[in-house]
Amino acid sequence: MIEIKKITGVLLLILIIFAMQGGIINAQTPVLINNEQFREDASMAIDSLYNRNAEASGVIMGEWKNRYPDHPIWEMWDAIELWWVVLEDLYDYSNDDRLIEAMQRSDYAAGQLLNRQPNHADALVIRALANGYIARHYSNRDSWLTSVKIARKAYSTYQTLMDVEPDFPDNEFVQGMIAYYAAYIPEEYPVVRAVSWFFPDGSKVEGLRKIKKASNNGVFSRPEATYFMGNILLNYEDRVDEALGYFRKLVEQYPDNGYYRRLMIRALSDQNRNDEVLSAVDQAETRWEEKNTESRMILLEELHFWKGRAHYRSNEFDAALESFKSAISYGKELPNRPKRLYYSVANYYAGLTSEALQNPGNAKIYYSITVDQNVEGDFVSNARERMRAL
């Protein structure tokens, strides 16, 4: 009888151990980025987020979220939507704390998963993305030391990810950015050459090849890679037509993303393509006619400035002044007016246009508003000089 009890006890112990092992196995968080169907769905959902349609993104990922509700990726999803709220209007600081907290929660959730399952690829992606976004936000706020510090954490995580998942397509974006800037920075800034040993071996050609590959095949990095391809080609490589091709691609893929439309129109204006600027502004106005009021005003504040510049360059001063006045009107309704660049420059150019229309009294009024602004650039000092000359 004792032996039967012992055997029964051992069997129960074995069953408990198996049950515990089963529980441990079931508790393992799967690596979703290795699932082809997840990659496909995630790419579509990212496109929806970047097109400012969080609801559609949620529908696409709904089945995955129901299946794995505790996966830390959902923290990241919410944080990316908030990223776009902040990026849309960088003069509005009201959501900064919420954004940082959301990204930090994503980083923490990823860290908790890494504690349980070291080198979990999803957690590494989430941690790298969260810290990358935080670093970019601090750079947008000119907090460069903080930005660099956090960027190092993001890069360190990406290095681990590249060891764990060497074939993950988003790796191409990180490797491409490093390769390009490691070659560009010592070449462009001679003072850096003395410490060029600090940089890894770089190649601008190889860097662009990898970024381009990520812009075509990346899961999370695809739109960012497309953006940086356009930015690098425009600002560093002087390959304007190619750059505009990437900006147009962003507008085509994300037609409801005002940030990308503004970027494209800004690039067109920089190249004095005035007819294309006017056409693009009209298209944007038509698309945003019934959209959220504040989002629409943010877009139109800048676009009416560029519209005014296009008319001004064509000596169409009456039309230019109307566009500048529209930009000013939109800017008055938006947050942090003293630091809004386009509110400032619209007033400055309204002053120049008023002078061209032989109305120095109005010009002084517009210049006086510019002088009271707190923006970077020469517009404030130029406006002060124009006031003295009148």
Phi, psi of 156 (to 5 degrees): -60, -40
How many CA atoms are closer than 13 Å to the CA of 168, on its beta-carbon side?
A: 27
pLDDT digits (tens, 9 = 90+) for 102-157: 999 999 999 999 999 999 999 999 999 999 999 999 999 999 889 888 988 998 99
* Cβ-contact 58, 17 below 8 angstroms: no
CA distances from 186 to 67, 134, 136, 354 (A): 49, 26, 22, 45
Asked whether residue 338 is domain-assigned, the answer is yes
State the sign of the Cα–Cα–Cα–Cα dihedral 260, 261, 264, 270.
negative
pLDDT digits (tens, 9 = 90+) for 176-218: 988 888 888 777 666 544 444 445 678 899 999 999 999 999 8
Asked whether residue 222 is domain-assigned, the answer is no
pTM over 0.85: yes
Q: What is the CATH number of the domain that holds 365?
A: 1.25.40.10
Give me the mean pLDDT over the 299-313 stretch: 97
Asked whether residue 145 is domain-assigned, the answer is no
Instruction: Give the pLDDT of residue 306.
Output: 98
User: How many helices (H) and strands (E) in the chain?
Assistant: 18, 0
Instruction: Give the pLDDT of residue 28.
Output: 85
Instruction: Give the pLDDT of residue 63.
Output: 94
Range of the domain at 345: 272-390
Asked whether residue 285 is domain-assigned, the answer is yes
Total domains present in the chain:
1
Residue 341: CB partners within 8 Å, gap ≥ 6? Answer: 91, 375, 376, 377
Instruction: Give the pLDDT of residue 183.
Output: 84
pLDDT digits (tens, 9 = 90+) for 353-374: 999 999 999 999 999 999 999 9
Does the structure show a pLDDT above 50 at 11? no
* Cβ-contact 352, 375 below 8 angstroms: no
Asked whether residue 306 is domain-assigned, the answer is yes
